[in-house]
Amino acid sequence: MSEDLHTSCCSPERGSDGCGEQRLGWHEYFMSVAHLISKRATCMRGHIGAVIVRDNNILSTGYNGAPSGLPHCNETNCKIYRSEHPDGTVEENCVNTIHAEINAIAQAAKHGVSIKDADIYITASPCIHCLKVLINVGIKTIYYDKPYKIEHISELLRLSGIRMVQVEVHNI
């Protein structure tokens, strides 16, 4: 499910000129941006950031939080609901929160930006609900940092043909 994307300090992708500070590669750059965006998240249970990219250009960003103009979890606390997967595992989610991936898609739609055939960088792998939406909007590759319940999405990934690649970013 993941590919090795680590680059050496002297690789062309790192942009090293051999004298001084190393230039970030594209994967490191976009994942670092996703981590920065996650700092705007307002859900107390997790801070997730997402960046939608095509041709090395940022098209849209999102973080998890309440719909615009509504109270955020950090103001009113999370309202948790429980659901059960077919395998019996229990999932807990916040009623107030829109996930980062959905917010990035909504921002693109709000501003008339096509995200078909784009890639997304997310600080954690998507939940099953977000993956279904990512499939429908035409995302080609999901780059993620931390795994989150990947076992629940593996069958959808296989059937959809979307690639999912782990990109670990250190020293953020």
Catalytic residues: 101
Distance (Å, whole) CA 116 – CA 34: 19
**Whether 67 contacts 134, CB under 8 Å:** no
**Whether 121 contacts 150, CB under 8 Å:** no
Q: DSSP readout, 102-167?
A: HHHHHHHHHTT---TT-EEEEEEPPPHHHHHHHHHHT--EEEEEE--SGGGTHHHHHHH--EEEE-
As annotated, the binding site for Zn(2+) includes: 99, 127, 130
As annotated, the binding site includes: 99, 127, 130
**Whether 99 contacts 41, CB under 8 Å:** no
